Structure formats: structure tokens, C-alpha cells
Amino acid sequence: MKKLFYLFIFFFSLLNTNINAKNNIMILKLTYGEVKIELFPDKAPNHVKRFKELADGGKYDGVVFHRVIDGFMAQTGDVKFGNTNNSDFNLSLAGTGGSDLPNVKAEFTDIAHTRGVLSAARSADPDSANSQFFICLDSAPHLDRQYSAFGKVVKGMEFIDMIKKGDPNSGAVPNPDKIISLKSN
């Protein structure tokens, strides 16, 4: 009977792990194709919660990649000024806005900023992350433990690579690509 109990606990934990893994997969739709993103709530729970809340609320749909530096990163997530579906859309202000929600405190992790990692964009204040995020196009070790990494592209990085690049210095993109949709899987 004891063995049966432990066997039941073992299978239940496997089932629960699989369910939790599915709950932390996001699908980012771009003009070029679909990107599958795995989130890491065990590493940055507050950033993951905010990201999922905004994504599942449709706040990222129509938001431009306003800052893209070849070989470094693609930044998006300004739901105020960077959302082409809103009356507040203003490309010259994209990158300065966020959501109406309070900022998220830093959650620096041991996740290295390697190719495909998602991390929270912020100002010089480590606790100023709100809605903006970036995807690393290459390794950026100088960002490790300085920015809150909270996920990683697990499929479709080739579509991220196709996002229009901006000015080599500022990253500003004159006619940027945008997120078609971003939702939980």
C-alpha cells in the first residue's frame, strides 16, 4: 500500500510539472512567423506575472520593436506610446512609456543574457521595469545580474532575427516591425 501511495505521488508530481510547464509557454506572433517563449517563474516570479498579465490582456498586440541593435537585442513592450492600436501611439515617444500598473522591483537572477533570453527593459533605476522587454540577439554578459531575465525563446529565433534593425548606435527603427499577438499557449 505504501508503494502504491508513493507511486501515486510520483505520477501526480510529473503531471503537475507538465501542466506548469505548459502554463509558462507564450506564443509571440510576428509577420515572419510564430515564436515560442518559455518563462521562468521560479527565477523572476513578479516579472513573469506582469508579462503574462499584459500579454493575456492583449496589451502587447500591435506594439512595435522600437529599438533594435544588430548583434545585441530587440526591444519592445511600450504599451502606451509604442502600441499602433492606441490613440497614444507616437513612434518618437516609443520607449518612454509603460502600462498603468506600478513598476516591478528588480529580480536579478543567475540566468545569463545569452541569445534568445527575454529580459526586462528599465531606466537607470533597477526597480523601474514596467512593460518593456528585450530579446537578446547574441550573448550580452555585461547585462548579467544587472537586468531581470525572465524567459527564453525556445523555438522560432530565426523569426526574431528577421526583425528590422535600427540605427547601429541608437537602435531607433524608422519603420518598425510590430507584435501581431502575444498570448499564453
Cell of 122: 528599465
pLDDT given at position 3: 61
Count of domains for the chain: 1
Q: How confident is the model at residue 177 (pLDDT cuts 50, 70, 90)?
A: very high
Going by DSSP bridges, is the β-strand pair 33-39/67-69 parallel, antiparallel, or unpaired?
Answer: unpaired
Residue range 86-110: mean pLDDT, rounded: 97
**For residue 164, is pLDDT > 70?**
yes
Distance separating alpha carbons of residues 185 and 182, to the nearest angstrom = 9
Distance separating alpha carbons of residues 171 and 41, to the nearest angstrom = 29
pLDDT given at position 98: 97
pLDDT given at position 75: 98
| Boundaries of domain holding 105 | 2-184
Across the chain, what does the average pLDDT equal? 92
Distance separating alpha carbons of residues 82 and 97, to the nearest angstrom = 8
CATH of the domain at 39: 2.40.100.10
**For residue 69, is pLDDT > 60?**
yes
**For residue 135, is pLDDT > 90?**
yes
pLDDT given at position 23: 85
Distance separating alpha carbons of residues 81 and 8, to the nearest angstrom = 51
Residue range 26-47: mean pLDDT, rounded: 98
Distance separating alpha carbons of residues 64 and 125, to the nearest angstrom = 23
In tens, the pLDDT along 108-121 reads 999 999 999 999 99
pLDDT given at position 22: 59
At 33 the three-state DSSP class reads strand
